Amino acid sequence: MKIANKKNILFCIFTFLLSFIIVNFIEYLNYPSQINVIEGKRRILNIRFPFKINNLNSNKTISISNLDDKDSNQKNEIEIIPLKKGKAHLQINLFGLVPVKKLEVDVLPKLKVIPGGHSIGVKLKTRGVLIVGLEEIVGVDKQKHNPGQDAGLKIGDNILEIEGEKVKNAEHVIEIINKYKDKNINIKVKRNKRIMNFTIKPVKSILYNDYKIGLWVKDSTAGVGTLTFYEPNTKIYGALGHAISDVETGQILSVGNGEIVKSRVVSIKQGKRGHAGEIRGIFLETTEPLGKLDRNTSYGIYGKLYKEPVRTKYNRPLEIGLQNEIKLGKAKILTTTDDNKIKEYDIEIEKINRQKRMGSKSMIIRITDKELLRKTGGIVQGMSGSPIIQNGKIIGAVTHVFVNDPTKGYGIFIEWMLKESGIENYIDRELAKTG
């Protein structure tokens, strides 16, 4: 009887240990493959026995240690101590032998930025022209033709060159086509990330008495958004937190050239359930723009300032709050509304999506500030890019609104915007010059 009891006890212990190992094994498998830390700022990982973590690098980018002193209640925790900028690799092993997960640790340089909140106008001229429509042409033969569609061109294609000549704008397309008349011409386009070539034969329109290829194209756009941050030494800025896309095609517009300028809010259309609101603004001092627009990405727009905008109440650079530092609960946003002053408004962070890869839907936020709700009804178009502040650190920016509940929306982690901005690469180049 005693032997049976011992077997039962051993079986229970074995089952418990096996369950414990399996649960933790799955947890570690789901760890993000990349961890960002900042120079001088420690990061804690909870690694429980029988799992161990090993530092695979000997370049002294980081060191790791166990928090196992008697005064600590966190004996399962491993402390990552970043020593210098660079990359390091860690390995989680079962019993120190069986590999479970590799982690890449990216040590970011100490970086502080000035938060924005300024209403800005964005002017963008595309690289080449964007196809936004296809149409039939009635030729001099009184037949209907659709040269663009027949050649295989699609809405959303970006025309870069015609017969080897770089396309400047929509008028330039017309000029080139009528130079070659009814001869076959070669058109180079960018479709998503692919460069493609098409041959197309223009048709002489009986209505307009000139040559057409049956395309509607766009070469520029403009709108209002919010400045998220700028770095005072490099003058690199980030804004919007999402891409500028063409309304008709949904395609991200490639940048030929562009600028950001001061904007003044003239009216606000309140957001209501099922209908997105909007901040309407006018551009100011277009002859003295704030900065150059260099990049339009899925995670915001970026460039360099010509001059610093007026600083907010945060007139000194703020530390960056990485995603592991963000907490559920109260936070603030900085934005500009109808009084044209940058103000701080209360929000609640309701969900944090711990992300392995860059994404613009990093957090779900809710506007709780009564004044802002009265003015806008919640998050509206034009507020995209409003910086999110928590515990004195800039942690992200507003990106999208929930159309069915305009009090809620998404925010992007500031670390993704900083990576996309190129500030780190710029700092590296400057250090190389002086080194």
Indicate which residues carry an active-site annotation.
Answer: 242, 369, 384
Helix (H, G, I), strand (E, B) or coil at 34: strand
Give 16's DSSP letter. H
Q: Which residues in 137-277 belong to E strands, given as ranges?
A: 137-138, 144-145, 158-162, 165-166, 185-191, 194-200, 203-204, 211-212, 215-230, 236-239, 255-269
The token pair at 431 is: 């250090």
Per-residue HEC secondary structure of 183-221 comes to CCEEEEEEECCEEEEEEECCEEECCCCCEECCEEEEEEE
Q: What does the alpha-carbon distance between residue 139 and residue 229 come to, in Å, rounded to a whole number?
A: 53
Question: Can you tell me the distance from the alpha carbon of 124 to that of 107, in angstroms, rounded to the nearest whole number?
Answer: 34
Asked if 122 and 225 touch (Cβ cutoff 8 Å), the reply is yes
CA distances from 3 to 10, 13, 14, 164, 320 (A): 10, 15, 16, 88, 61
Give whole-number Cα distances, 149 to 145, 161, 174, 201, in Å.
9, 18, 17, 11
Q: Is 325 exposed, middle or buried (0-12, 13-18, 19+ CB in 10 A)?
A: middle
- Calpha distance 340→265 (Å, rounded): 6
The total of other beta-carbon atoms located within 10 Å of residue 258's CB is 24
Cα–Cα nearest to 254, from 313, 193, 314, 200? 193
